[in-house]
Structure 1
Amino acid sequence: MISINGRFLGQPLTGVQRFALELTKALDRRIGSGDLPEALSRARWRLLAPPDVPETGEFRHIALERFGPFSGHLWEQTSLARRAAGDLLVGFGGSGPLLHRRQLVVIHDVTIFRHPEAFSRAYRTTHKLLGFGLTRTARIATVSRFSRGELSAVFGVEPDRIPVIYNATDHFSGLAPDDTILPRLGLEDANFLFMLGTLKPNKNVDFAIRAFDALGKRGWKLVIAGALDRGGVFKAAAPANAENLIFTGRLTDAEIVALERRARAFVFPSLYEGFGIPPLEAMTQGCPVLAADIPAVREACGDAALYFDPRDHGSLEDAMRRIMDAGTDVLGLTEKGRANLARFSWDQSAASLLSVLSEMSAQRR
C-alpha cells in the first residue's frame, strides 16, 4: 500500500500545496494509464486526510480516506501514523509522522533557517523540530539542486541521498484569462509591470516598489497582487508616486493570467526561494520576466529572465528601464521563456517521484 499524506487538501493553496495537488493529480493519471515502474505496478494507492478536508472529485484512481478526531500536526503524529503503519508513506508538504520509518517527505526549502524573521516563533520551533526529526527517520526529497545543497548543509544529510523533484507550471498554461480584471483595475490601456507579493521579508516587495518609484515613470504602473496591506508594505515613508501603485489583494488564477498576458514584464525580487514558481507561471503567458539573481531562481529560469541584484536598487531600476524604454521584447525573453518551460512538467516530476518510490519499495523486499 502506498499512502499519500493528504493534509494539504485542507490548507490554503500556496506554492507548497500547489506542488502537492498537481503532483498527486499527475500520479493519478499515471496510475490510470498503468505507466508505473514494475515494482509499483500492483500497488494500491490512497490519499489519507483529516476529517475536515472537503470531498474532492480530483482523483479517479487514488482513493480519498478522511478520518481521525484531529487536524494539523496532531493529526499527522497520531491518526495518520496509525492508519499508515506498514505503508510506504509520501508527504509533499515538509511534514509527517516522526515515528514512521518507511516514508518519503518533500522539504521545499530552509527559509526558516535563512530568514527566521519571516515566521512566528511557534512556527519556527515546530518546523525546525520536524526537519531535524524527519531527516533522521525518513527519506527526504526537495524541489531544486539549490535546496538539496541547503538541506544537506542544515541537516547534515548527504546530498546524493536527496532526490530532486521539480516544480512545474503546465497547470497554469491552459487557464483561460479573466479579462474583466483589466477594466476593474483601470488597466485597459495602461503600461504596467506586474508582481505577486506577500509581507514576508524574503519576498522583498518594498525593495521593488522603491526601485519603481525611483524611476519616476509617469504613466507607468506597478501592479502588485496578493494579500498585502498597503500601509504595511513600506518600511519608511510612502513612495512619491504612490498613485502609480495598484494593490489588488488576492486574485484568482484566471485574473493573474489576464494581467500576465498584458503586463510588459513580471518582476520577481525575492531574496530567497527553494525554487521559484511565479516567474515560470508568468512565462506560460508569454510575459517577460525580471528576476532576482539568486541560485534557485537561476536554476528555474535559466537564460529566460533579465536578472538583477535584489539588494541593489540601481540594478533593478536599470532592468525596469530597459523593459520600459524598449517598447517591444527586444531581449527575446518571451521566446526564451517558452523554451525554458520545456524543462519542467508535472508528468516528468511524477516520473521522478515514482523512481524514488520504486527504489524504496524494492529495499523493503
Structure 2
Amino acid sequence: MVRGGASLSRRMHVGLNLVYLVPGQTGGTEVVARELLPALVAAAGDRIRFTAFVNREAAAAPGGPWKELMPAVTVPVAATNRVQWVRGEQQHLPRLAGRAGVDVLHSLANTGPAWGRCARVVTIHDLIHRFHPDTHGGLKARGMALLVPLAIRRSHRVMADSQSTAEDLVRELRVPRAKIDVVALGVGSTARATPRPEARLRAEHALGDRPIVLTVAAKRPHKNLPRLLEALALVDPARRPVLVVPGYGTAFHDDELGALVARLGIAGDVRLLGWVSDEELEGLYAAASVFAFPSLYEGFGLPVLEAMARGLPVACSDRGSLREVAGDAARRFDPERPGDIADAITAVLDDPAEADRLRAAGRAQAARFTWQATARATLDSYERTLAAFRSRA
C-alpha cells in the first residue's frame, strides 16, 4: 500500500473537517454540511467510509448527520472561541485524522490544516474576506486572509462552488486552474416545515393585503440591503409593496439599516426580521409575490435557488456566480443602481405573465442543482485528491 493511501483491499476512509461548525450559528456552511453529508453517504455506498471531526459544541448538540450517519471524533476545542477553533484545526485535527487512519481529509468551509499524513482537499465557498472584508469585521477578516490561502496552498486539491469562484481563485490567489474542481451545490427540500398560514403571518407583521417582496439574507454589508431599501423608496407609495427581510443580524449593520429606513420615510413598508422558524419562513415563501436578492458578491447564491424551487419569481443581482446560478430564470439587475432594482421588482409585480414565466423557469433551473449531483462530484474530487497525494509520495 502506498503511504497514506487506501489499498485495493479496503475502502477509502474520508475524514470530514467540521471543526468550524457550531450548530445554529454557522449559517450557510452549516446548511451545506447538513445537506451534503447524507447525500455523500448514500452516493458512496460501500466504497467509502466516513468519520466526522467535530468541535465540543457540535458533539454536545442533539442530532446532526455528523453523528447520526457516521462515527464522530471530538476535537477538544470550543469553536465559538476563534483562537481555539484555529488551534483545533491546525494542531489537533491533523493528529486525530492520522490516528483514525484517514486517507482523504475534506475541509468543508474555506479553511483547513496546513499539514498532515493524509491527502487534503478544501472547499472554498467564496473569497468574501478579500472582496468585502467589512463582512467579517477586522480581526476575523485578517485571520481569513491568512488561513484561506494557507489551506489552498497546503491542500492537494481545491473544490469551488461555482465557475465564478474558481475564476476568483485563479485571478486573486494564483491557484492553478488544474488544481480546482468546480462542485456546484444543490437545493434542499422545499418543505422543511408546514408553512405558517398567510393570514396569520399578515396579522403578526401588520402586512395588510399588500404584495410582499421577500429577501432572505443576513444583515451584512455585501448583501446590499441599503440599495434595496433605496429602491423600495423609489416605488410610488400608492403601489409600493412591503419588503420583508428575515435573516440573522449583525449589530453594527442593523443600526445602519434602521437609520436608513427612517431617513427614507419607509418605516411602514419594511419589516426587518431576525432569524425566523422554518414554519414562518415557509409561510413567507408561500405568501410572497417576488424574491429579491441584491447581493454584491456570492460564492454560489443558494438563496436564489431555494426561492426558485418554491415557485417564487426571482429578481436578483447580475454579479458573479449569480449569473450562472440564476441564468435566464431570474429578472437580473445592476445591484449598484437602486432604480434598476426597483424596475426589476415592479416589472414582476405588474406583469402576471412575466411572473408566471419566471415561476416555471425558476423551477426548471433549480431542478438542475441537486445534492446527489454535488455528492457524486465530491466523490470524484476525493479520487483526484488521493491520486495527487500519491503522486507526491
Q: TM-score, normalised by structure 1?
A: 0.90
C-alpha contact 1:7 1:50 (8 A) present in aligned 2: yes
What per-residue deviation string (whole Å, max 9, x for no partner) do you get for residues 76-114 of structure 1? 112211101252101111112111362111011111111
Describe how 1:33-52 pairs up with structure 2 within 5 A.
Answer: 33-34=45-46, 41=47, 43-52=48-57
1:74-93 matched pairs, under 5 angstroms: 74-85=87-98, 87=102, 88-93=104-109
Secondary structure of 1:355's partner?
Answer: helix
Say whether the 8 Å CA contact 1:290–1:306 is kept in structure 2: yes
1:157 aligns with 2:175: yes
Q: Percent identity of the aligned residues? A: 27
5 Å-filtered alignment, 1:37-186, equals 41=47, 43-53=48-58, 54-56=61-63, 58=65, 60-68=68-76, 71=79, 72-85=85-98, 87=102, 88-100=104-116, 102-138=119-155, 139-173=157-191, 175-179=193-197, 180-186=200-206
After superposing the two structures, state which structure 1 stretch, 231-240 or 107-116, moved more.
231-240
Confirm or deny: 8 A CA contact 1:172 1:281 kept in the other structure: yes
Is the contact between residue 159 and residue 182 of structure 2 (CA under 8 Å) also seen in structure 1?
Answer: yes
Residues 177-218 of structure 1, C-alpha deviations (whole Å, 9 max, x = no match): 233434322346331111123332211001001111111333
Shift of 1:351: 0.1
- State the distance in 2 between where 1:204 and 1:336 align: 25
User: What residue in structure 2 maps to residue 37 of structure 1?
Assistant: none
Which residue identity does 1:232 align to in structure 2?
A: E
Q: Give the Cα separation in 2 of the matches to 1:13 and 1:124.
A: 16
Cα distance change on mapping 1:57 and 1:215 into 2, 3 Å: closer
CA distance in 2, matches of 1:75, 1:169: 31
Is the partner of 1:170 in helix, strand or coil? coil
1:300-350 deviation per Cα after TM superposition (whole angstroms, max 9, x unaligned)? 011110011101111112112212322564560000001101210001000
In structure 2, stretches of 5+ residues that fail to align are: 1-12, 80-84
Please tell me whether residue 232 in structure 1 is matched to residue 256 in structure 2: yes
Query: Which segment drifts farther, 288-297 or 153-162?
Result: 153-162
Match of 2:7 in 1: none
Code of the residue aligned with 2:143 in structure 1: it is T
2:298 aligned counterpart, secondary structure: coil
Could you list the runs of 5+ residues in structure 1 that have no partner in the other structure? 35-40
How many Å separate the matches in 2 of 1:298 and 1:173? 26
Paired position in structure 2 for 1:20 = 33
RMSD: 2.2
Separation in 2 of the partners of 1:172 and 1:5?
Answer: 27
Count how many residue pairs are aligned between Structure 1 and Structure 2: 357
Aligned to 2:18: 6
Matched, 1:196 2:224: no
Change (3 A) 1:104 1:172: farther
8 Å contact kept, 2:315–2:333: yes
